[in-house]
Amino acid sequence: MLKLLAAGLVASVAVIGTVHLASADPVTITFRFNDTEQEVRGAIDAFQRDNPNIKVDLQRIGWKDARNQFLREAAVGEGPDVAHVAQVWVIEMGAAGATLALDDFIRKDPPPNGFADFAAQDLAKGRDGHFYGLPWTTDTWAMVYRTDLLKDAGITDLPHTWEDLRKNSEAVYKKTGKAGFGFPAGSSASGAMWFLANFYWWSHGKELIVQKPDGSYAIGLMPKDVVECMNYFKQFMDGGDNPKTNLAASDAHDPAIIQALVTGKQAMGAMPPNTYKEILKAYEEANPGKSIPFASAPFPHQDDTKSSMIGGRMLVINANSKHPNAAWKFTKFMASQAVFAQYYRTQFPAQTSLLKQIDFGAPLKGFAEQFPHARTWGAYASGPAPIGTLWNVTTRTFGKALSGQVSTEDAAKELFAEIGKQMP
Amino acid sequence: MTATAPSRHWRDPGGWQFVLAVVLTIVTLFVLVYPAIYVLVGSFRPGGGLLSTAETFTIRNYVRIFQAGFGRFILNSVVICVAATVVSTVLSVMAAYVFSRFEFRAKRTLFTGILFGQVFPWIVLINPLFVAFAAMHLINSYVGMILTYTAFTIPFSVYMLVGYLVTVPKSLDEAAIIDGASRWQVIWLIICPVMLPGFVATATYAFLLSWTEYLFALAFLTQTDLKTLPLGLYQFFGDDYVDWGAVMAASVVTTLPVFLLFLPIQGWISPGRIAGAVK
Amino acid sequence: MRDRLFITTMLLPAVVLLVLFYGYPIFDNLRISFTDLSLLGMKKGGNWVGLANYRELLHRGDFSHILFNTLIWLTATSVLLRLLIGLGIAVLLNTRALKTLRLASVARFALLVPWATPPIVAVVIWRFLLERNGFVNDALMGLNIISQPIAFLADMRTVWPSIVTIMLWNTVPLIALSLLSNLQTVPEEYYEAAELDGATNWQMFRFVTLPFLMPAILVLGLMSVFWSFNNFVYVWLATGAGPGTFTNVLATEVYLKAFVDFRLGYSSAIGMVMAVVMGAFGILYLRLVAHRQLEETL
C-alpha cells in the first residue's frame, strides 16, 4: 500500500514536472531506432513540429547488438529514453528492471482504439502482470516462389502441403538443374532454421514450448516429432536441391540466397517481407520493364493451424528515463495511424484495425494471407528459458543433423537434453 | 655511407631468382588486393553487385553513406585514432626505452605484467569496463575512447619497441650522453631517427587497431555524432536485409583515409634513408 | 638515484593506464565468475555459487572438442602460417630485384589494404569469394582442379582451412610490415662481411637475417598467440561456430554464454580459464623461449 502511494506521488510529481516544463525549456528525449534513419525521419520531424517543447534525438544501433547494449546501459542508469526492441525481448527486459511499466500511461492516456487493438499483447505483459512495451510493428514470414522456374519444371500450382513442397523442390532440381527450396540451414545463434522448424511443428499442431493449465511450462514435442522435422529438412540437403553451401548461410537475407533467387538459380525461398522487397527491387533493377516472375504464398498448413509467426517490434521506455511523459507522448505518436499512413511505410502497424486497412498489393499477397495463419511466440517468450537459448540449441542441433555430423536421432536427443536443462 | 644504397641480404639475383621474386610478388599482390578490388567495384553497383548480375554503374551508395553521417564518422575516427596513436606510441617508447636500457628490481615482473591485459578475451572485459566507464562519465566521450585505445595498444607496442631497441647498440646512447645530451634528447633525437621504421610500424599497428575496432566503440559510443567508421559501417547490416552497396562504399571510405595518412609516411621511411645509419 | 627517478617517470603513465583498464575489469571478472550473474540481472547482481561455473565448464562433454579447435586450428595453425607467410613476404619485399622495379613500394601499400579492412568486411568478402559460384570455386573449376563446387564454409574438411585463410588475409600484413621494418634496419656491413666470406643466400638468411629478426618474430609470435586464442570475430562471422558446433572455440563460447544465454557468471569463468591458460603460456614462453633472444633486456 505504502509502495503504491509512493509510486503515485512520484508519478504526480512527474506530471506536475512536465506541465511546468511544457512552458519552459524544451526537453530532449533520445530515441534508439535499429533500422535506417530514412524510415522514421519524417515521423520524428512531424512529432517535433507538433510538440515544439520536445526535441527527439535519434540514435541507431544494429539489431544484433541492440539488446545487449540496452541491458547494460539500463543497469547503470544510462541509455535512450525510448528504445526499439523485438517483441520477444520485452518480458525479459521488464523482469530485468530495464523498462518502465506502461500501465498508468495506457490507462490515463490510451492510444486511439485502445490497447486491446494491438497484436502481440501477450508478449508485452511482464511476468508481474504489468505492460512493459507498446507493440509497434508486425511482421511475418512467408514462402516466395520463382514462378518461371516452377513452370519450367512443369509445376502449375503452388504447393499446399509440406510433401508437395518437397516434391516440387526435387522436381525443379531434377528437371532444370536449378536449386529448389534453398533455405538457409546455417547453425549460427540467430539462424533461420529456428523459424522453419517451428513453422513445421506449428502447422502440425505442435509446439516446442507449451504452457500447461496450471501455469507451468514444458516441452510440447516428442523426440519423434523432432526427428521427423529434421528428416524432412535433411531430404533437401541430401537430394541436392538445397545446395550444401547453404549450411553456412544462417540468414534469410544471405546475399547468396538473394542472388540465386534474383538471377533465377533458385526457385523457392522463405523470408520476411522486407527481404522479399529487396529481391523484387534487385530484380527490377537488373531487368527493367520485365514482368516479375515472383509470387508469395503462406507456408503449408492444414486447415486452421498456424504455419508462421507474428513477429515484430515494440517500443519500450527506459526505466532510467528522466522524461517518461514526453517519452510516452512520443511512443504513442509513433504508433498512430498518421505515422504509418504518411511516414513509416516499410513496416506493418501492430494495431489490428490499422493492419486491416492495409493494401498489401499483389506481390505481397502471400504475406497478407499468412497473417491469419500466424501466431506469436507466446509461451516461448514468457517461459523459463531465454528464447535466445532455445533458438541457439535448435539451430545447432539441426545444423549437426543436416550436415550429417550426427544422426537425426542423436541430434534430437541432444536438443531434448539441452532444452531439458532449461526447464524447471 | 651513401644515402641511396639499398639494404640487401640477398646477393645480386641471377635471372631465374629475379623472375621468381617478381612472380611471387605479383601473386602476393593479387591475393592481397583482389578482395579489395571486389569491394571497390561493388561499391559502384546497386546492391554492391552481390544481389544480381546487372553491371549498372551508380554513385548512389556513396551518396547514401554520406547522408547517413559518414563525413562526421571520418572526422571522429581520425581524431580518436590519431590521438590514441600518438599517446600510445609516446608512452610505449618511454616504457620500452627504460626496459631496453636499464636494470632495476621490478623489471622482469613489470615486463611480464604488461602482457596481462592481453591474455583476456576482450569480450569478457566489456561489461565490467562499461560499468566503470559509466561511473566515471566516460561514455560518449572522445577522451574515454582515446584512453581505451591507448591502453589496449600499449602492451604490444612496448614489446615490439623493445624488440627493435635491443638491436640498437647502447654505445650510441652513451656517446650522445658523453656529448652532453639528456636521456630525453637521446630517445627522440638519436634513437628515434635510427629506429624510424620500427616506430612507424608500431604506430601503424596502434592506429589500425583503433581504426577497425568495433566492440568497445559499440559499447562506449552511442551518440550518432560521436560514432567511428566501423560503427557507421555496421549500421547497414539490418535485420531483414543488408544494404550491401552501402557496406561496400563504407568499406572503401574506411580504407581510403588510411592511405592518405600513410602515403607521406611511407615516403619518409624509404629504405635508403636509414640504411647504414647504425654505425 | 637519478636513474631511479627517470625509470619511474618513464614507466608510470603506461603502468597507471594499464592498471586502470585491466586491473579493475579483471578483478571484477574474477568476482563475477564465482556468481550466477545474468545479463538480465545486472541491476540486482548475482548470487555466490563458488566454483560451480568452473566445475560445469570442465565437465562439459564437448570441452575437449572446443579446446582442440581453439588450440590447434584457431591458434597453432593460424599463428605458424601467419609468421611463415609474413616472414616470406617481408624477405621478398626487401630483395634488391623488387626495389629496382619499384614493386616493393607498391606491395608495401598493398599490405595496408587487408590490414585496414575491418574484420566484418574481410569475412563478408571472403564468404562471397568462397561461395558456390564465387571466385575461388570458379577459378578451381576453370583450372580443372575440381569438378564440383566446394562448400568451403560448410564442409567439415574445408571449413577450418577457410577460416584460417580469412584470418591470414586480414592479419598477415601486420607481421609482414613489422618484420620488413626490422629488415630495413639490418646494418649493410653484416651482409657485406658475409658476402666476403662467400656465404650463400641461404646462409645469409640463416646467419644474418634470421638472428636479427628473432626478437621481433618472438614478440609477434607471442602476441599472435594471444590474439588468435582470444579471437571470436572470424569464427563468429564466418560460420557462427557451425556447422552444428563444429567450429566452436572458447571465445565464441564466451560470447554465446554471455550474450545469447545471458550467463555472465559462467562466461566470466570461461574467460578466467582462458586467461590462466594464456598467462601460463606467456610466462613459460618468456622464460624458456624468448629469454635468450631478449637477453639484453631481461
Helices (H) and strands (E) in chain A, counts: 18, 14
Run of H or E including B101: helix B70-101
Q: Count CB pairs under 8 A between chains A and C.
A: 120
Q: Residue A211's beta-bridge partner residues?
A: A217
Determine the distance from the C-alpha atom of residue A241 to the mean position of all C-alpha atoms in its chain, rounded to a whole number. Answer: 27
In whole angstroms, give the CA distance from residue A40 to residue A58.
Answer: 9
* Residue C62 falls in which region: left (phi positive, over 0), alpha (psi -120 to 50) or beta: alpha
* Partners of chain C (3+ Cβ pairs below 8 A): A, B
* pLDDT given at position A1: 44
- Higher per-residue confidence, C99 vs C278: C278
C66 CA: distance to closest CA in chain A (Å) = 14
Q: Residue A84's beta-bridge partner residues?
A: A315
Partner-chain contact B22 C250, CB within 8 Å: no
User: Which of B27, B61, B124 to probe the C interface (max C CBs under 10 A)?
Assistant: B124
Amino acid of residue C193: A
Partner-chain contact A285 B127, CB within 8 Å: no
* Partner B contacted by C232 (CB < 8 A): yes
In whole angstroms, give the CA distance from residue A189 to residue C236.
Answer: 10
Q: Which has the closest alpha carbon to C276: C243, C223, C233, C229?
A: C229
Chain A partners of C256 at a C-beta cutoff of 8 Å?
Answer: 189, 392
B126: domain range? 40-273
Whether A179 and A243 have beta carbons less than 8 Å apart is answered as yes
* pLDDT given at position C44: 86
C-alpha cell at C13: 603513465
Whether B14 and B31 have beta carbons less than 8 Å apart is answered as no
Partner-chain contact A285 B54, CB within 8 Å: yes
Q: Determine how many CB atoms are found less than 10 A away from the CB of residue B140.
A: 16
CA distances to A178, A282, C174, C179, C218 from C221, rounded to whole Å, are 47, 46, 12, 12, 5
Partner-chain contact C43 A191, CB within 8 Å: no
C277: Cα within 13 Å, side-chain hemisphere = 17
Please provide the average confidence, as pLDDT, over all residues in chain A.
92
Please enumerate in sequence order all residues whose Cβ is within 8 A of that of C77, keeping only pairs 6 or more positions apart, or say none: C160, C164
C-alpha cell at A143: 514462402
- In this complex, the residue of A80, A263, A272 whose CB is nearest that of residue B240 is A272
Partner-chain contact A187 C242, CB within 8 Å: yes
- In this complex, the residue of A57, A59, A282 whose CB is nearest that of residue B51 is A282
Phi–psi pair at C158, nearest 5 degrees: -110, -10
Chain C partners of A389 at a C-beta cutoff of 8 Å?
Answer: 260-262
C280: Cα within 13 Å, side-chain hemisphere = 5
Provide the angle, in degrees to the nearest 10, between the axes of the packed helices C119-129 and C135-142: 40
In whole angstroms, give the CA distance from residue B97 to residue B202.
Answer: 14
B51 CA: distance to closest CA in chain C (Å) = 11
Q: Please indicate, yes or no, if residue C24 is contained in any of the structural domains.
A: no
C-alpha cell at A21: 516544463
Burial class of residue B270 (count of CB atoms within 10 Å of its CB; 0-12, 13-18, 19+) = middle
* Residue C232 falls in which region: left (phi positive, over 0), alpha (psi -120 to 50) or beta: alpha
In whole angstroms, give the CA distance from residue A197 to residue A138.
Answer: 21
Q: Residue A57's beta-bridge partner residues?
A: A30
CATH number reported for the structural domain that contains residue C52 in this entry: 1.10.3720.10
Number of domains within chain C? 1
* Partner A contacted by B144 (CB < 8 A): no
Partner-chain contact C95 B21, CB within 8 Å: yes
C68: domain range? 33-293
* pLDDT given at position B272: 45
**CB under 8 A, 24+ apart: contacts of B185-190:** B187/B93, B187/B94, B187/B97
Residue-wise pLDDT tens digits, B171-186 = 888 899 999 999 999 9
A272 CA: distance to closest CA in chain B (Å) = 7
Residue-wise pLDDT tens digits, A242-295 = 999 999 999 999 999 999 999 999 999 999 999 999 999 999 989 999 999 999
Please provide the average confidence, as pLDDT, over all residues in chain C.
90
Run of H or E including A57: strand A54-60
Residue-wise pLDDT tens digits, A196-235 = 999 999 999 999 999 999 999 999 999 999 999 999 999 9
Residue-wise pLDDT tens digits, B33-60 = 999 998 999 999 998 888 887 788 999 9
Partner-chain contact C244 A406, CB within 8 Å: yes
In whole angstroms, give the CA distance from residue A290 to residue A212.
Answer: 53
Please enumerate in sequence order all residues whose Cβ is within 8 A of that of A324, keeping only pairs 6 or more positions apart, or say none: A14, A81, A100, A105, A317
Instruction: Identify the band that residue C23 occupies on the pLDDT scale cut at 50, 70 and 90.
Output: confident
DSSP state string for B201-267: HHHHHHHHHHHH--HHHHHH--SGGG--HHHHHHTTB-SS-B-HHHHHHHHHHHHHHHHHHHHHHHH
In whole angstroms, give the CA distance from residue A154 to residue A175.
Answer: 9
Determine the distance from the C-alpha atom of residue C169 to the mean position of all C-alpha atoms in its chain, rounded to a whole number. Answer: 12
DSSP state string for chain C: -HHHHHHHHHHHHHHHHHIIIIIHHHHHHHHHTTB--BGGGTTT-PPB-TTHHHHHHHT-TTHHHHHHIIIIIIIIIHHHHHHHHHHHHHHHHTSHHHHHHTHHHHHHHHHHHHHTS-HHHHHHHHHHHTSTTSHHHHHHHHTTS-SS---TTTSTTTHHHHHHHHHHHHHHHHHHHHHHHHHTTS-HHHHHHHHHTT--HHHHIIIIIHHHHHHHHHHHHHHHHHHHHH--HHHHHHTTT-STTTT--HHHHHHIIIIIS-BHHHHHHHHHHHHHHHHHHHHHIIIIIIHHHTTTT-
Place of cell 590490414: C115
Determine the distance from the C-alpha atom of residue A419 to the mean position of all C-alpha atoms in its chain, rounded to a whole number. Answer: 22
Chain A partners of C236 at a C-beta cutoff of 8 Å?
Answer: 188
In whole angstroms, give the CA distance from residue B124 to residue B141.
Answer: 22
* Partner A contacted by B25 (CB < 8 A): no
Chain B partners of A77 at a C-beta cutoff of 8 Å?
Answer: 134
Q: Residue A142's beta-bridge partner residues?
A: A271
Residue-wise pLDDT tens digits, C32-89 = 999 999 999 988 889 999 999 999 999 988 999 999 999 999 999 999 999 999 999 9
Residue-wise pLDDT tens digits, A2-52 = 445 445 544 544 444 444 444 457 899 999 999 988 899 999 999 999 999
Partner-chain contact C154 A246, CB within 8 Å: yes
B142 CA: distance to closest CA in chain C (Å) = 16
DSSP class of A81: S
Instruction: Identify the band that residue C3 occupies on the pLDDT scale cut at 50, 70 and 90.
Output: confident
In whole angstroms, give the CA distance from residue A22 to residue A31.
Answer: 19
Q: Quick check: B192 pLDDT over 50?
A: yes
In whole angstroms, give the CA distance from residue A176 to residue B196.
Answer: 63
Q: Quick check: A309 pLDDT over 90?
A: yes
As a CATH number, domain A142-309+384-422 is: 3.40.190.10
Determine the distance from the C-alpha atom of residue C23 to the mean position of all C-alpha atoms in its chain, rounded to a whole number. Answer: 23
Q: Please indicate, yes or no, if residue B168 is contained in any of the structural domains.
A: yes
Q: Count CB pairs under 8 A between chains B and C.
A: 330
* Partner A contacted by B173 (CB < 8 A): no
A2-138+312-357 is classed in which CATH architecture?
3-Layer(aba) Sandwich (3.40)
Q: Residue A137's beta-bridge partner residues?
A: A313, A349
Please enumerate in sequence order all residues whose Cβ is within 8 A of that of A402, keeping only pairs 6 or more positions apart, or say none: A185, A193, A230, A233, A234, A237, A247, C243
Q: Quick check: C185 pLDDT over 50?
A: yes
Partner-chain contact A392 C261, CB within 8 Å: yes
* Partners of chain B (3+ Cβ pairs below 8 A): A, C
A248 CA: distance to closest CA in chain C (Å) = 5
Residue-wise pLDDT tens digits, A319-364 = 999 999 999 999 999 999 999 999 998 899 999 888 888 888 888 9
* pLDDT given at position A2: 46
* pLDDT given at position A5: 47
Please provide the average confidence, as pLDDT, over all residues in chain B.
86
C-alpha cell at A191: 539462424
Instruction: Identify the band that residue B108 occupies on the pLDDT scale cut at 50, 70 and 90.
Output: confident
Number of domains within chain B? 1
Measured CA angle at A104 (ends A102, A108), to 5 deg: 120
* Partner B contacted by C267 (CB < 8 A): yes
* pLDDT given at position C208: 87
Place of cell 522436381: A171
* pLDDT given at position B169: 84
Please enumerate in sequence order all residues whose Cβ is within 8 A of that of A222, keeping only pairs 6 or more positions apart, or say none: none
* Partner B contacted by C58 (CB < 8 A): no
Judged by average pLDDT, the poorest of B92-101, B109-118, C233-242 is B109-118
User: Which of A285, A347, A348 to probe the B interface (max B CBs under 10 A)?
Assistant: A285
CATH number reported for the structural domain that contains residue B173 in this entry: 1.10.3720.10
Burial class of residue C268 (count of CB atoms within 10 Å of its CB; 0-12, 13-18, 19+) = buried
DSSP class of A131: B
Q: Which A residues, 57 through 76, put their C-beta within 8 Å of a C-beta on chain C?
A: 68, 71-72, 74-76
Partner-chain contact A62 B237, CB within 8 Å: yes
Quick one: what percent of chain B has pLDDT higher than 70?
90
A190: Cα within 13 Å, side-chain hemisphere = 13
In whole angstroms, give the CA distance from residue A256 to residue A165.
Answer: 21
Instruction: Identify the band that residue C294 occupies on the pLDDT scale cut at 50, 70 and 90.
Output: low
Q: Determine how many CB atoms are found less than 10 A away from the CB of residue A185.
A: 31
Peptide bond into A52 cis (omega under 30): no
Q: Quick check: B10 pLDDT over 80?
A: no
Partner-chain contact A187 C131, CB within 8 Å: no
Whether C158 and C152 have beta carbons less than 8 Å apart is answered as yes
Residue-wise pLDDT tens digits, B61-82 = 999 999 999 999 999 999 999 9
Q: Please indicate, yes or no, if residue B159 is contained in any of the structural domains.
A: yes
Run of H or E including B25: helix B15-42
Find, in chain C, the residue whose alpha carbon is nearest to that of A257. C131
Q: Note the helical H segments in A36-89.
A: 37-50, 63-75
C157-179: average pLDDT: 95
Spell out the domain ranges in chain A.
Answer: 2-138+312-357, 142-309+384-422
Place of cell 629504405: B271
